[in-house]
Structure 1
Amino acid sequence: MSELSPTKPFSRREWLMSDRPQSRMQARLGRAYLVWSRFASNRLAVVGLAIIIALLLVAAFANVLAPHSPVAGDLRNARLLPPGGEYWLGTDDQGRDILSRLIYGSRLTLYVVILVAIIAAPIGLLVGTIAGYAGGWVDSILMRITDIFLAFPKLILALAFVAALGPGIENAVIAIAITSWPPYARIARAETLTVRNSDYIAAVQLMGASPTRIVLRHIMPLCLSSLIVRVTLDMAGIILTAAGLGFLGLGAQPPLPEWGAMIASGRRFIMDQWWVAAMPGFAILTVSLGFNLLGDGLRDALDPRGSNQ
């Protein structure tokens, strides 16, 4: 009689990459592991993720990290001091520590980015999926409205809305969100047109699902990966738009340490005291680069045509 060989235990990776998952949880974990493997193989994407994680940590622990007050300064003894010593990044024309203002300004940056994403992305997803699934005159009306918003430059349209609503960080968020949803609607509509005639949707229709349930429960989840990538890539543009509004005095109002407003206040000293405007500009550059690298990595990792290796 031949001896039976002992069963070789599966490694964790083999369990995650199994072609025959035994449960939905195993299938979801396997998919997440595959996406992370693709993402981690892109070094620039990991750098972008590290920048965003650092931004989150700086914003969360701003009270601990900031060495000075972000709004109060020593106008008599610390006005326009160069970087070094007690003030690592120098001071501004009000004697305020630029490093502390940058640290606290990261909270405003995340506040704007997160709120715009929460408002604009669901609106674009809803408009796009309804237009793509309904078709006909519904599609024509919704897409023509979308085209009207896309016809105007985003910053100009945001300026118009802020002028109507009044200056302030909340109104700036609303204005940016109103101008940011059309690209998401376009992406969601394109994804919906791809899947609405698929066998999967036809089977759901045969089971008696209503159009509302089909859109909300079956089509929207299929559009999320493309939408997440586009939202991540748009974060840099949102930051620049918010900084532009702050630069023009229509965003966060003094003495809030908003990076665009800091550049505006430092432009008068750009020739002699360059650090006043250069430091917030470098912060905007770094965070925007981080979001772009992260978005590129997510696009490659979530690409269904990517390698399964």
Structure 2
Amino acid sequence: MASARAWLLADSPTSRLQANLGRLYRITGMLLRNPLAAVGAAIVLALVLTAIFAPWIAPYSPVGQSLQDRLLPPSAEHLMGTDELGRDIYSRVIYGSQITLTIVLLVAVIAAPVGLVIGAIAGYFGGWIDRALMGITDIFLSMPKLILALAFVAALGPGINNAIIAIAITAWPAYARISRAETLTFRNSEFIDAVRLQGGSPARIIVRHVLPLCTSSMIIRVTLDMAGIILTAAGLGFIGLGAQPPLPEWGAMISRGRTFILDQWWVATMPGFAIILVSLGFCFLGDGLRDVLDPKQGDKG
């Protein structure tokens, strides 16, 4: 164990693999020393494991109805009670983690790369290209995300796939702004000039040198935005424009449970608690990653 740790923390790595593993080891250690970041990482890990092993964790089917068991309070048999159709809320919350994880991952995979590339191109070339791309970005940023997502979902039609597309369309401008700001700080640096003198094309410089340098800031922003993505998806589900019945989406579950909020509080409270917990987990993890990956924070420390 000691030799492995010494190999990971070597001041002069002998390979790129050793350097990357050493950096990952240091980042993990710094995250674990941050209590809130460790809690956030544990919540996110629990979400991932719950989504993967949902069929084995959930005691009941998420869509199976039992009208004789409708609106039962939390008990040993039904940990979170049952809804108006007799469905086990705990099982539906467990399966709902799959939908939530799918939404945040797909939105991140779609929006972050698009914003990263657009911002890098605008920052590197400048001039009219920068003004045109940032003008489009500012148009999207000028409108509230939820309202813009509602407009796109209304145009595309209700459904989880259209909700993912709508949320991704509203999420990319923030990443473009961050990427452009990062690119402006080093586009005239000596190492960029050296690559140009070696005959590197703008496309090669952007892909091989600019985008990797923007990755750390992008990871931080994506992690922090996960909570907002979850809340936007839940909002769309709440008004019936997201995942459609009988899918156990948390926002839609809250919408159906609001009718019983005074007498059968658990129907809406349990999925709401799941949304709050997962959102806090991503916020805590994002704050921890910002402290670890942001060199400016490191300089202050």
User: Partners in 1 of 2:5 and 2:194 — Cα distance?
Assistant: 33
The answer to whether 1:231 aligns with 2:227 is no
CA contact (8 A) 1:36 1:301 kept: no
The answer to whether 1:277 aligns with 2:278 is no
Partner of residue 19 from structure 1, selected from 6, 11, 18: 11
1:278-297, aligned counterparts within 5 Å?
278-297=269-288
Partner of residue 163 from structure 2, selected from 169, 172, 181: 172
1:19-72 deviation line (CA, Å, top 9, x unaligned) = 333332332222222222221210110111111111111111111111111112
Which one has the largest radius of gyration?
1
Counterpart of 1:3?
Answer: none
Q: Evaluate the alpha carbon distance shift between residue 26 and residue 12 of structure 1 in structure 2; reply closer, same or farther with a 3 A threshold.
A: same
User: Partners in 2 of 1:115 and 1:62 — Cα distance?
Assistant: 19
Q: Indicate the structure with greater helix content.
A: 2
Q: Evaluate the alpha carbon distance shift between residue 134 and residue 307 of structure 1 in structure 2; reply closer, same or farther with a 3 A threshold.
A: closer
Partner of residue 53 from structure 2, selected from 61, 68, 86: 61
Counterpart of 2:94?
Answer: 103
User: Partners in 1 of 2:97 and 2:276 — Cα distance?
Assistant: 13
Partner of residue 82 from structure 2, selected from 91, 94, 105: 91
The answer to whether 1:202 aligns with 2:196 is no
Look up the SS of the partner of 1:267 in the other structure: helix
- Cα RMSD of the aligned pairs, angstroms, is 1.5
In structure 2, what residue type is equivalent to 1:58?
A: T
User: Partners in 2 of 1:308 and 1:135 — Cα distance?
Assistant: 31
Counterpart of 1:39?
Answer: 31
1:220-266 deviation line (CA, Å, top 9, x unaligned) = 00000100110000000000000000000000001100000000000
Bigger shift: residues 53-62 or 244-253: 53-62
User: Partners in 2 of 1:275 and 1:166 — Cα distance?
Assistant: 30
Q: Evaluate the alpha carbon distance shift between residue 32 and residue 308 of structure 1 in structure 2; reply closer, same or farther with a 3 A threshold.
A: farther
The answer to whether 1:262 aligns with 2:253 is yes
1:152-191, aligned counterparts within 5 Å?
152-191=143-182
Look up the SS of the partner of 1:225 in the other structure: helix
Partner of residue 69 from structure 2, selected from 69, 78, 81: 78
Look up the SS of the partner of 2:74 in the other structure: coil
Relative to the length of structure 1, the TM-score reads 0.94
User: Partners in 1 of 2:61 and 2:196 — Cα distance?
Assistant: 60
User: Partners in 1 of 2:7 and 2:193 — Cα distance?
Assistant: 32
In the comparison of the two structures, how many residue pairs are matched? Answer: 299
The answer to whether 1:51 aligns with 2:43 is yes
In structure 2, what residue type is equivalent to 1:304?
A: P
Stretches of structure 1 that go unaligned for 5 or more consecutive residues are 1-9
Counterpart of 2:126?
Answer: 135
Look up the SS of the partner of 1:84 in the other structure: coil
Look up the SS of the partner of 1:173 in the other structure: helix
1:308, distance to aligned residue in structure 2 (A): 11
Counterpart of 1:6?
Answer: none
Counterpart of 1:302?
Answer: 293
In structure 2, what residue type is equivalent to 1:255?
A: P
User: Partners in 2 of 1:208 and 1:168 — Cα distance?
Assistant: 48
1:153-200 deviation line (CA, Å, top 9, x unaligned) = 000000000000000000000000000000000000011001111111
User: Partners in 2 of 1:171 and 1:47 — Cα distance?
Assistant: 32
CA contact (8 A) 1:128 1:186 kept: yes
In structure 2, what residue type is equivalent to 1:268?
A: T
CA contact (8 A) 1:262 1:276 kept: yes
In structure 2, what residue type is equivalent to 1:147?
A: D
User: Partners in 1 of 2:21 and 2:194 — Cα distance?
Assistant: 26
Partner of residue 22 from structure 2, selected from 27, 30, 37: 30
Look up the SS of the partner of 1:255 in the other structure: coil
Look up the SS of the partner of 2:69 in the other structure: coil
1:17, distance to aligned residue in structure 2 (A): 3.0
Look up the SS of the partner of 1:21 in the other structure: coil
Q: Evaluate the alpha carbon distance shift between residue 202 and residue 280 of structure 1 in structure 2; reply closer, same or farther with a 3 A threshold.
A: same
User: Share of identical aligned residues, percent?
Assistant: 68
User: Partners in 1 of 2:258 and 2:153 — Cα distance?
Assistant: 23
1:11, distance to aligned residue in structure 2 (A): 4.2
Relative to the length of structure 2, the TM-score reads 0.96
